[in-house]
Chains A and B, each alone.
Chain A
Amino acid sequence: MDFIPENQKQEEAFELASQLCNVLNEGVQKKLLDQVGVHNFATNSKLINATVSSKGVYVDTNGISKL
């Protein structure tokens, strides 16, 4: 289901998180970034997340919805 921001902060966070996911996934895909390192960063971030099964990092809509 698509995430619908409920306030300006969520909207801003969602946009930033999307951009961050794009550059990080691009970096991993081009082998310019270490996959494990990016995964670790994502799991510690408020904006993005990653799971073992996920293909790259993704926007942490659950975390953002609490903003």
Chain B
Amino acid sequence: MTTDKEFKPQLLYKDESRIKEILKQSDDTSEKLNQALDVATNFIGGDLNDEDKENILLGGFDKAMEMIRAKYQFPDADDDFNLKSMGKDTEPVKKALMSSKSLYRGFEYGTLNGKVTLSGNGKKNIEEGECTYTKNEAQNAAFDLAKRICKNLNEAMSSNFISASEQTPIAQGVKLAKYSNKTKNYVPNVSFLKDIDPFGGIRSSRY
């Protein structure tokens, strides 16, 4: 029988505003990519499936040219001749697909029903990337204690046993908790907690 307890990381903090910001960036980028696909589809002509569209975004202008060449009426003539005969201008599609590969690779996108969208896994990874977890048992113990201290301090504050002028001395004295001006209560001090080493030590500069 083993007595070793398996370490279970606890969620210290989830940066919701940063997640919102990244998801907004992802939406803006997918919109730009979808606009680029519209330009490319118009250039190539005909129906393009999801795989074609993904290949265009990854292959850029060269891929779009490869696809339109398959539709040339005069395969022995050069690009200029064929494109002119089809009334196609390469500049808009060249510009639209200029950074499509890096933009498409920037987030975990997928092309579904003709549109570039962030995959479920991509969204999950963005959220996970902005979560801070405990890394050792000492942090778990400190986090548990911090939550209890915050509960007591918040009760004391709501009963007016702690005044506004006492908030700073408390924060200075009890580093595990901090007063949040946003939520107007005491919350575990994540930036302090995440620096606790496996032996419970804390960097001396923190005191």
A16 and chain B: residue at smallest CB distance: B156
A32 within 8 A of B: yes
Q: Hey, which chain B residues are within 8 Å of A45, CB to CB?
A: 162, 166, 170
Docked complex: B167-207 residues within 8 A CB-CB of A: 169-170, 172-176, 196, 200, 202, 207
Q: Hey, which chain A residues are within 8 Å of B170, CB to CB?
A: 41, 44-45
Q: Hey, which chain A residues are within 8 Å of B169, CB to CB?
A: 40-41, 44
Main secondary structure of the interface of B (DSSP, over half): helix
Q: Is the CB of A44 within 8 A of B176?
A: no
Q: Hey, which chain A residues are within 8 Å of B175, CB to CB?
A: 33-34, 37
CA distance A35 to B155 in the complex (A): 23
Give the contact-size bracket for chain B.
20 to 34
A34 and chain B: residue at smallest CB distance: B207
Known: A20-B152, A23-B148. A33 touches B176 (CB 8 A): yes
Q: Is the CB of A24 within 8 A of B166?
A: no
Main secondary structure of the interface of A (DSSP, over half): helix
Q: Is the CB of A44 within 8 A of B152?
A: no
B86 within 8 A of A: no
A55 within 8 A of B: no
Give the contact-size bracket for chain A.
20 to 34
Chain A, 4-47, contact with B by CB distance < 8 Å: what is the 0/1 string? 00000100110010011001101100111110111111101111
Distance in Å from the Cβ of B160 to the closest Cβ of chain A?
Answer: 9
Q: Is the CB of A30 within 8 A of B141?
A: yes
CA distance A34 to B176 in the complex (A): 10
CA distance A12 to B162 in the complex (A): 13
B193 and chain A: residue at smallest CB distance: A32
B156 and chain A: residue at smallest CB distance: A16
A residues contacting B by CB (< 8 A) are 9, 12-13, 16, 19-20, 23-24, 26-27, 30-34, 36-42, 44-47
B residues contacting A by CB (< 8 A) are 138, 141-142, 145, 148-149, 152-153, 155-156, 159, 161-162, 166, 169-170, 172-176, 196, 200, 202, 207
19 cross-chain CB contacts under 8 A:
A9-B159, A13-B159, A13-B161, A16-B159, A19-B152, A20-B156, A24-B149, A26-B145, A27-B176, A30-B145, A32-B142, A34-B173, A37-B172, A38-B173, A39-B173, A41-B170, A44-B166, A45-B166, A46-B166
